[in-house]
Structure 1
Amino acid sequence: MNFEPVYSPAIVSFRKINEIGQEGRNSKVFLAHDEHMDAKIVIKEISQYSTDLDKLSKEAKILYASSHPNVVQIQYACKDDDNFYIAMPFYSNGSLKSLMSKRNLTSREIIRYSIQFINGVSHIHSKNLVHLDIKPDNILLSDNNEALLSDFGLSDYTDDNGWFQLTRHYIKHSAPELCDSTRQNLVNIQFDIYQIGLTIYRMCVGDDVFNEQYNVFLSDNGELKTNEFVEALKAGSFPDEKAIPIHIPLQLKKVIMRCLENDTSKRYSNTRDILNDLSSIDYVGLDWHYNSSGNSQQWTCKDHTGSEYSVILNKGDEKPKITKNGRNKNITSNLKSFLLNLK
């Protein structure tokens, strides 16, 4: 039997529960309940009046083409008279950014999450895709607590030479090469690599510290001081390398700063090398929980015997206060060495 090549209309039935995000003027993100699957899902709703249907469906096609264990999967895509919808799984653990808003991450967590989401980036690069919007907001944590790359709204295919002309991007994650007017906003996978580095950096320092650095470039009415921001990017002074806490392993810090190289000839040229360098970090001292408040820094950790350590360093103090199982402890090494070598 031959079928006519006609698409049949289908009924998709979901009920919006509440809005959980907004992505620009023309799209919103909702938590919803799908009637047929009897499941909570995430719906990205995009107004059909914002652009043509081909562009609307592009993100859905890219998501489908990017199927990978570390990439958020598309459930389905559909449209009605007013909107185009992309349905994705709902992850109750939320995003990496939401976790970072609750507490600082340990070095071990930073390395593990980074390897996972970079695996997703590596996969899309193998498909000649660039993501262009890598940030903690767009890395979701699965029910198995694994990092998944999400939100392909800015993603696109590169040309035969690996280039793509950027038309819009997330300002906070601007790469220095965008400051070069001769490039005419042409970017390649190294743009993603810069954003990878900035994402790992934010995992190390925390978003409060990162936002404090960025807010320096905002005027009193919240507008970006573009010239000052561009100069900081070109000089490599944003983000501030010195803000990385002392308990972060040197190997991890080197990975971050190589990703953030403003000279692209010195930056990583592929994600494989980043993954290899992250995987080779065999370091003790990866499990410190770090907090800073005002003029005080604190680290807490358990060693392999279960003993609990607490380190408090107040501004102006020559030595930190260190306790082991609640009792004062003296150390012969400097604080940085102690933090990085606790087994």
Structure 2
Amino acid sequence: MSLSAGARLAHYEILEPIGKGGMGEVYRARDKKLGRDVAIKVLPEEFAENKERLRRFEREAKVLASLNHPNIAAIYGLEQHESTHYLVLELVEDETLAERIARGPIPVDEAIDIAIKISEALEEAHERGMIHRDLKPANIKITPDGKVKVLDFGLAKAFEEETPEADSSMSPTLTRHGTRAGVILGTAAYMSPEQAKGKKVDKRTDNFAFGAVLYEMLTGAKAFPGDDVPEILAAVIQLEPEWDALPAEVSNRLREMLVRCLEKDREMRWRDVGDVRITMQRLSREPSTHDAPPNLQSVQALRWGAVALGAAAIAAGATFFLARPSTRGSVVKSLITVAPAARLGSAGSARLASLSRTAMALSPDGKVIVFSASDGASSRLYRRSLDDFDAVPIENTEGASGSFFHRTTVTAIHLVQNWFAELERLAPKKE
């Protein structure tokens, strides 16, 4: 139902409409008893016709009303006036994060500050066993003094109809919002893969949506764009964001944190948003550093599973062969980010580039990676411990195009233009 200015719902006087969505119409209203302005969300008429659904919503609303956090818009209550059911909510004015992003990408430092506050809201709710399920820029408000408020916390579940959990064709967005294309499009781009498939969700679903929101703040573009709902959902399930769109000011640690937020496999995703918050708070206190080794053009090419490399090199007309037994171990997944316009492997001719298979080597103990990276003019070796974010250059390895481990040493293969191989042994740094 639509209400006009001056209409009354119990002791609330409607002042003006302020929004409309799949979960009902929203009005600014005056609480005559307490003398304050509030937001009134009038539930759809069909809602009251389903008594069981309404009772379930009442239970959810009571739990949500118990949330008390400065970054979560409060729910004051669920009330009824005659046949109209409505929620009384904290009125949060000013622009949404979606409106802010529409003006362009948000500077990295500001985006991190906003993201920290969003993560604090999620952390508070997750600790109470609550999931947002519909986190997106349109559900986040930013006040002029820098405060952040997350709206509609948990209401997606409260509004959701009961559907057989095993039926993966019943996507929450596609079934619940029906023909409201604007709402569907606004939600689909922030759904986790498991949510898009209609599977059971948990707090890691919010962590995925959080990553999509942060990506959009940094780039000004959606992580998973599309012209229609099927295309958007296909991107969410199958495609990677355009990682090259991230600004140069994004540090390696922030990039890796974001990649992990947007893992398709939720088992590989951040389990607790509190860990994400801690990472961002540390980043906000550290000066940005961009002296990392040369970067790959695509982070997508750097998502490694198990790494096992052998190498062969020609030295002074003799053939040197090195091999060691293969062993089955645990899978190590790591991200290496290096400077723009660079790639793994050697510089120079296509023949040299063909040796890129030796561009990376994993130490026998599985703790250290040594790799060669090139900016197109020259290449060198870098060393990185798997428990650290950053790689450091190895001295005196300019021109190296590949590497392999031999027992406890790293052998750098320097290939000169006449294809004469020079072997140089480098003692690895002690852990």
TM-score for the superposition, normalised by structure 1 = 0.66
1:17 is the counterpart of 2:50: no
**What is the number of equivalent residue pairs in this alignment?**
254
Give the conservation status (yes or no) of the 8 Å contact 1:164–1:188.
Answer: no
Secondary structure at the counterpart of residue 154 of structure 1: helix
Q: Following TM superposition, by how much is the alpha carbon of 1:71 offset from its aligned partner in structure 2, in angstroms?
A: 1.3
* CA-CA distance at 1:259 after TM superposition: 0.2
TM-fit CA distance, 1:258: 0.9
Query: In structure 2, do the counterparts of structure 1 residues 210 and 43 end up closer, same or farther at CA, with 3 Å as the change threshold?
Result: same
Other structure's SS at 1:248 match: coil
Percent of aligned positions that are identical: 20
Match of 1:195 among 198, 205, 209: 209
Shift of 1:167: 6.0
The answer to whether 1:185 aligns with 2:183 is no
In 2 relative to 1, CA 263–88 (structure 1 residues): closer, same or farther, beyond 3 Å? same
Structure 1 residues 104, 32: closer, same or farther in 2, change over 3 A? farther
Gaps of 5+ in 1: 1-10, 157-162, 287-343
Distance 1:277 1:164, change over 3 A: farther
Is the CA contact (8 Å cut-off) linking 1:27 and 1:44 kept in structure 2? yes
SS in 2 for 1:140: strand
The aligned residue for residue 38 of structure 1 is 35
Compute the displacement of 1:202 (Å). 1.1
C-alpha separation in 2, matches of 1:164 and 1:257: 29
Residue 233 (structure 1) aligned with residue 236 (structure 2): yes
Say if 1:15 and 1:34, in contact at 8 Å, map to a contact too. Answer: yes
Q: Does 1:168 align with 2:185?
A: no
TM-superposed deviation, 1:164 = 11
1:142-163: CA deviation from partner (whole Å, max 9, x where unpaired): 575221222031146xxxxxx9
Deviations 1:287-341 (A, max 9, x none): xxxxxxxxxxxxxxxxxxxxxxxxxxxxxxxxxxxxxxxxxxxxxxxxxxxxxxx
Check 1:247–1:193 CA distance in 2 against 1; reply closer, same or farther (3 A cut): same
TM-score, with normalisation over the residues of structure 2? 0.53
Q: Distance in 2 between matches of 1:143 and 1:85?
A: 29
Residues 105-131 of structure 1, C-alpha deviations (whole Å, 9 max, x = no match): 221221111111111111111111111
Task: Call closer, same or farther: CA 1:78–1:179 in 2, change over 3 Å.
Answer: closer
Contact 1:12/1:78 (CA < 8 Å) preserved in 2?
no
Structure with the bigger RCO (C-alpha within 8 Å, sep 6+) is 1
| 3-state DSSP of counterpart to 2:46 | coil
2:259 corresponds, among 254, 257, 260, to 257
| Contact kept? 1:49, 1:82, Cα under 8 Å | no
Q: CA RMSD in A?
A: 2.8
Structure 2: distance between partners of 1:76 and 1:265: 36
Q: Assess, with a 3 A threshold, how the Cα gap between structure 1 residues 41 and 194 changes in structure 2: closer, same or farther.
A: same
Q: Distance in 1 between matches of 2:207 and 2:77?
A: 29
Which 5+ residue runs of structure 2 have no aligned equivalent?
1-8, 159-164, 174-186, 290-431
How far apart are the structure 1 equivalents of 2:144 and 2:62?
Answer: 25
Matched-pair contact (CA < 8 Å) for 1:67–1:73: yes
Contact 1:56 1:84 (C-alpha < 8 Å) held by counterparts: no
Q: Tell me if structure 1 keeps the 8 A contact 2:189–2:232.
A: no
1:73-152, aligned counterparts within 5 Å? 73-142=74-143, 144-152=145-153
Rg larger in 1 or in 2? Answer: 2
User: CA–CA distance in 2 between the matches of 1:146 and 1:128?
Assistant: 24
8 A contact 1:116–1:147 mirrored in 2: yes
For residues 17 and 59 of structure 2, the distance between their equivalents in structure 1, rounded to whole angstroms, comes to 23
- Contact between 2:92 and 2:149, CA under 8 Å: does it hold in 1? no
Deviations 1:235-254 (A, max 9, x none): 432x3222222223332222
CA distance in 2, matches of 1:119, 1:240: 27
